Amino acid sequence: MRIGTAEFYSVVEAMEEVADSLAIRQPWDGYPRMPIFVKLQPGYELNEELKRKIRDALRTQALPRHVPALIIEAPDISYTFRKKS
């Protein structure tokens, strides 16, 4: 099943705490999972409360399949020359 990233990013990046994000597909135990990396706005920290808020937003504003297996804080999100993650 393909997960559209536009739906995912529109929910996550609309959150005031999140400056940028990147979702990847990763094989895990014979099945794909979707960890996400989030770059936070200054003054925020990725704690359990924020992780729960991100998961709840994706579950209710997108689809349950958009809920990430892992949420990892990243200092920055890399882009290619053509502005692709």
- Please tell me which residue, 70 or 34, carries the higher pLDDT value: 70
Q: Are 2 and 44 in contact (CB under 8 A)?
A: no
- H or E element: which one contains 24? none
Token representation of residue 35: 């960890």
Q: What topology does CATH give the domain 5-73?
A: GMP Synthetase; Chain A, domain 3 (3.30.300)
Q: How far apart are CA 57 and CA 29, in angstroms?
A: 27
| Tens of pLDDT, residues 21-69 | 998 877 778 777 788 999 999 999 999 999 999 999 999 998 777 788 8
